[in-house]
Amino acid sequence: MTSGTPGPSAGVSSGDRPGARRPGVIRDAKDFWAGVMCMGFALAAVVLGRKYPLGTPASMGPGMFPVLLGGCLGLLGLACSIRAIRPAKAVARLAPIQPGPVLFVLGSVVAYGVTLPRMGLVVASMLLVIISRLAAPGFRWLEVTLFGAILTLGCVLVFVVGLKMPVPVWPVFLGG
């Protein structure tokens, strides 16, 4: 599932299923909210971009190009949202958001960033493995700890011993 390939998981919730909620004004929720998102970014780009001098076409200021792009993005977003509420548009619903994987996977990365400079690579890597592993079913402490230890050793060997990255291995208060 790489760029541009909707995997088997994408678009599962499209179509009029019996018993499903009848569509309201918004027929294609994915397009509608994508349009709203684009309009949001566009608005931010234009509003914030107004603070930078526009200049003239012959000598463009830092504000000209972003405001121009923001304007175009806003129009595209608007078109996208309007198309999504046309009665002829096929119904598509958003897939339910699953907070678990999002929280654990991205949370583990954030935890890694927070702990790395002071607690060192070993603690950060172990933490990353343990937290991220909570995102999938079948968590077993022994397995996860063992796997984390092997992975941490690999990281230390490749990045600290091999590539000589300036990063503390052990917590700084223990002498790095």
Partner 1 sequence: MVDLVANLSLGFHTALTLANLGWCFAGVLLGTLIGVLPGLGPVPTIAMLLPITYTLPPVSALIMLAGIFYGAQYGGSTTSILVNLPGEASSVVTCLDGHQMARQGRAGVALSIAALGSFFAGTVSTLVLAASGPWLGELAITFGPTEYFSLMVLGLAGATVLSHGSLLKSVAMVFLGLLLGLVGTDINSGAMRYTFGVPELGDGIGFVIIAMGVFGFSEIVTNLTAGAAEREVVSRKITGLWPSKKDLVEAGPAVVRGTALGCLLGVLPGGGAMLSSFASYALEKKISKHPERFGKGAIQGVAGPESANNAGAQTSFIPMLTLGIPGNATMALMAGALLIHNIQPGPQVMTGNPELFWGLVASMWIGNLLLVVLNLPLIGMWVKLLTLPYRFLYPAILAFCAIGIYSIGNNTFDIHQAALFGLFGYLLHLLECPPAPLLLGSILGPMMEENLRRALLISGGDAWVFARRPISAGLLLAAAILVVILALPALRSKREEAFQEEVA
Scanning residues 65 to 94, which ones bind partner 1 (CB under 8 A)? 65-66, 69-70, 72-73, 76-77, 79-80, 83, 94
List, in order, residues 6 or more apart from 47 with CB less than 8 Å away.
none
Among 166, 173, 174, 175, binds partner 1 (CB under 8 A): 166
The least distance separating partner 1 from the CB of residue 21, rounded to whole angstroms, comes to 18
Looking at the Cβ atoms of 24 and 162, the one nearer to partner 1 is: 162
Answer yes or no: are the C-beta atoms of 156 and 104 closer than 8 Å.
Answer: no
Confirm or reject binding of residue 5 to partner 1 (CB under 8 A). yes
Distance in angstroms between the alpha carbons of the first and the last residue of the chain:
40
Looking at the Cβ atoms of 27 and 73, the one nearer to partner 1 is: 73
Looking at the Cβ atoms of 8 and 18, the one nearer to partner 1 is: 8
Residues 130-149 that bind partner 1 (CB under 8 A): 132-133, 135-138, 147-148
11 residue type, one letter: G
3-class state of residue 169 by DSSP: coil
Among 54, 105, 149, 169, binds partner 1 (CB under 8 A): 105
DSSP alpha helices (H): ranges in the chain?
Answer: 29-49, 64-84, 99-133, 141-155
CA distances to 11, 62, 78, 86 from 93, in Å: 8, 40, 19, 15
Among 16, 20, 53, 170, binds partner 1 (CB under 8 A): 53
